[in-house]
Amino acid sequence: MDAYLFTLWKTCREGSYSIAELAETIHLSPKQTKRYLNRWQEDGWLAYTSGRGRGHLTALVWLRHVEREYAKQMLERIERESVDAVTEELSWDWSPAQTGRFMRKLEQKFGYTQELSDALLIPRRRPFLTTNPLEAADIHSAHLVQNVFSRLFAIDADGKLQGELAHHYAWNGPVLSLHLRKDVRFHDGSLLTSKDVTKSLRKLVAYPAYAKSYRHVQHIQSNGPYQVDITLDQQRHSLLPKLATIHTSIGKDNVGTGPFQLAQNDPKKTILSAFPNYYGIRALLDRIEFIQMPDAYDPVYRTSRSDSGETDTISTQSGFGLVFLNPRPGGPFERPEARHYIHRLIAAIRPAIQSLNERGFPNDRGFLEQFSSVHPLPEGPAVLFTQPLRIKLTDFTDKVTRWLCETLDAHGIPYEFVPIGFKASITDFHAFDTIDLAVHAEVFERNLPVAFHQFLTNDFSPPAKMFRQMPEMDKWIDRYDETPFEDWMRLHQTVERHLIDSSYFIPLYDDTRIIPFPIELQNITIDSFGYFDFSKLWISS
């Protein structure tokens, strides 16, 4: 199957074209295009008569129906080959009818391979952005990292700190001593020692995205094989909660100690296999396969032990959506009255968000779940904008962004889109330098106080990118270092009200994730990111 031939068939029907036009269509040079035309003519796909002399057109006649013949090949390949072997061809511009045939065949095929091992197969629409804990700023990468790496500590939904790789800890003035578990192995078989943890933590505090968060750390050193000492300028309440976040996962050359090890990761498939020497309880699933599939594919999970097709669903909280108004110098939202005006316009259409997304529920409170409350909208006059609003456009929030812009159109507010790729919107620390408005979707970890603190302080997070224009926020952020963890929620509420009342952050919706899964999948447990806890699943026979 030739992608160039398929593209030419879809784009150029019978008629006359210049070689330059044909070459541009299939993104080849004119010389390469002529070679391909000759080969396709010899194979009987088409007939063409080359125009003589410069500027003369080439007559193109199709002798065979390329899409129909290729579709037949695709169905045969789906039947006999692995699903990931055809993912590249599935992304071609097939007609809706052919796409429907492929999807029905894939749903019969996907995940059914009679074998002794227990595997969970999950369709995905795009590859993972990263497997590095320090870079895992999006929910999908963080979920992957959580299964491959372990942290020093974990904090449950109730705020209880529990040791993972750290068995216990002790403060001695400004020094936090971490006492590690013994006989913990990395996926490469080597034993975890204090030197590994020390090296990993030093990378963390030096990493640009976290340098500010760990600015109080003065020294990290190993003290014997199972003790790590972290010296700060003084004892800080914020350090232990920080050591329970996903980016503090301990690794060695991108190898972790978690319940699953990374067996394969490429644009077609990512495979996690159970780690038999995991220091906890060995997972009952043998492997997890994430397979890249086109958007039209049914997102239901599959297993390797059944083809019954019977499924169930589970709903989990999937974060919230909000609108950022960036007060950049010289921008339209440097003025509070301009922010308040847009805030009121968004609040007026917010109840209709569910017509756009049936799983999105209007949020007129804030971002702290039951700890947020409804406050009066800021008052003020309508504002005339003399310069277009620069609006961030990313595929992940494209639909909601365009929906909001309908309101701007209705009120005669000029705007222009600034396209930013999903990865760049996370990793580019200057992505908001020239942006005025952005729709953002956020997913918190299970513990709300820790998650909201990370939302505010992690440099990968949009708020941190905006706070450079808001010097008053530095004073708020600094207070977390002096505030006991159990009192963080009150501080969160104060910060949240300031951001909403100043119309920097505008709550938009709460989101729900629907996960369809086969009925033979047992012990469904939700992890800290709202996905299945893979380490606890098993498959009934």
Task: Report CA-CA distances (Å) from 228 to 177, 201, 441.
Answer: 6, 10, 37
For strands 505-518 and 360-362, give the pairing. Answer: antiparallel
Pick from 246, 260, 248, 215: which is nearest to 233 by CA? 215
75 DSSP β-pair partners: none
Distance from chain centroid for Cα 139: 4
Report CA-CA distances (Å) from 216 to 20, 175, 398.
Answer: 62, 12, 39
Amino acid at 359: R
Give every residue of the chain whose pLDDT is below 70, as ranges: 51-56, 107-116, 296-298, 305-309
Q: Which of 467, 460, 436, 431 is nearest to 325 (CA)?
A: 436
Give residues with Cβ within 8 angstroms of 17, minimum separation 6.
57, 58, 60
Using alpha carbons, select from 60, 99, 24, 9 the residue that is nearest to residue 297.
99
State residue 423's pLDDT score.
84
In tens, the pLDDT along 505-527 reads 999 999 888 888 888 888 988 88
φ and ψ of 518, to 5 deg: -70, 145
pLDDT at 307: 57
Return the amino acid letter for 474. Answer: D
Tell me how long the chain is.
541
**Phi and psi (nearest 5°) for 65?**
-85, 100
CA 202 to chain centre: 26
DSSP character string of 427-446: H-TTTTTT-SEEEEEE---S
CB atoms within 10 A of CB 97: 9
Q: Which tens digit of pLDDT belongs to each residue from 433-446? A: 899 999 999 988 87
pTM as predicted: 0.80
Instruction: Say if residues 363 and 496 touch (Cβ distance below 8 Å).
Output: no
Which residue has 């036009």 as its token pair? 21
| Proportion of the chain in helix, strand, coil states, percent, rounded to 5 | 35, 25, 40
E strands, 396-484, are: 415-419, 437-442
